[in-house]
Amino acid sequence: MKATLITGASSGIGEAFARRLAAEGHNLVLVARSENKLRELCDELKNKHNVTCHFVAVDLTEFEADKQLFEETEKNDIEVDWLINNAGFGSMGDFAKLELDRELQMIDLNISALVALTHRYLAKMRERKSGTILNVSSAAGFQPIPFMATYAATKSFVTSFSEAIAEENRPFGIQVLALCPGSTETNFHAAAKMDRALNVKGQETVEDVVETAMKVVGSGRTKVVSGWTNWVVATATNFVPNSLITRAMGKGLRGRFQKE
Ligand SMILES: NC(=O)c1ccc[n+]([C@@H]2O[C@H](COP(=O)([O-])OP(=O)(O)OC[C@H]3O[C@@H](n4cnc5c(N)ncnc54)[C@H](OP(=O)(O)O)[C@@H]3O)[C@@H](O)[C@H]2O)c1
């Protein structure tokens, strides 16, 4: 059975992808840690849209979680033809004072789990010569961001990695897309312990972000920024040296995170 696997499907952008794709007839495999939320969402989508929905409650930062998830889909004869690597979190603050374990966990989730799942399911897609991989990156990845250093760097990795493997896999009928949302209304800012969103006024809804991705899937594009303002800012970073960007952003945020 063909299915779309979505990580981080228990809330926010991942949940919105699940709702949209179920409505379009995709069978689903939903992944996150919150078992009850996944069960409820699966039950709702199965009843509403007559699709199949599996869920796997797993912490993707745990050792070999990607292997466990892959083996689970193999055991159930699920052919993952769309993979949406969406699970991720951020942090904000003076890097030297942030909790090291949390920063490393972020790298485990935002980068290592994404790379591992991409590698495992890509092998199967290559055999079938078809597949779609959608990696949820961020507009934060277009430049280094002081006081959000690890998060911005993880998303820079995700965009760069996605664009590179998109080209490698183009001859095999596999599309890889980096989706780069800007500030979006989800639990993300609370989970990152950001006392307020960086760009509260311009926040997009999760449906806006999913719509951006769905418009581009199948077009051959390898990267898309969600939201016109976010696109303008992301594009402008190509013309301004990082040293100027970091100095300006550092100046704006230093007062909040490096009080004497
Ligand atoms: N919101 C924004 O402003 C924004 C902007 C740009 C990019 N993004 C990106 O969008 C993606 C989705 O975030 P969101 O905004 O929708 O935030 P969210 O509502 O907090 O969703 C994060 C999802 O990831 C899951 N998750 C977190 N840690 C996990 C772990 N260790 N193992 C497995 N699943 C885990 C969460 O579920 P459980 O807690 O149940 O595990 C949840 O389903 C992230 O990659 C984020 O970086 C967000």
CB of 88 closer than 6 angstroms to any ligand 1 atom: yes
Atom of ligand 1 nearest to the CA of 89: 47
- Specify the ligand 1 atom closest to the Cα of 90: 47
pLDDT for 196 equals 59
The string of DSSP codes covering 154-173 is: HHHHHHHHHHHHHHHHGGGT
**Low-confidence spans in the chain with pLDDT less than 70:** 195-201, 260
> How far is the centre of ligand 1, averaged over its atoms, from the C-alpha of 180 (Å)?
13
Which of 186, 231, 233 is the pocket-test mutation for ligand 1 (most atoms within 8 Å of CB)? 186
Cα–Cα distance measured from residue 204 to residue 185, given in angstroms and rounded to the nearest whole number? 6
Atom of ligand 1 nearest to the CA of 10: 43
**What pTM value is reported for the model?**
0.97
Question: In the prediction, which pLDDT does 201 show?
Answer: 67
Yes or no: say if 62 and 38 are a contact pair by the CB < 8 Å rule. no
List 55, 89, 147, 151, catalytic entry: 151
Which of 7, 180, 184 has the most ligand 1 atoms within 8 A of CB, as the residue to mutate? Answer: 184
pLDDT digits (tens, 9 = 90+) for 20-34: 999 999 999 999 999
Q: What integer pLDDT is reported at residue 14 of this predicted model?
A: 98
Ligand 1 pocket check for 186: Cβ under 6 Å = yes
Distance CA 90, CA 200 (A): 16
Write out the E strands in 44-103.
Answer: 53-57, 79-85
State the residue for tokens 């960007």: 245
> How far apart (Å, rounded) are the C-alpha atoms in residues 210 and 110?
19
What tens digit of pLDDT does each residue of 127-179 get? 999 999 999 999 999 999 999 999 999 999 999 999 999 999 999 999 999 99
Query: How many angstroms is it from 232 CA to the middle of ligand 1?
Result: 24
- Tokens coding 107: 């790298």
Phi, psi (degrees; rounded to nearest 5) at 80 = -80, 105
User: Does the C-beta of 121 come closer than 6 Å to ligand 1?
Assistant: no
151 belongs to the catalytic site: yes
What is the helix (H) or strand (E) element at residue 239, kind and residue range? none
Q: Which domains does the chain have, with CATH numbers?
A: 2-257 (3.40.50.720)
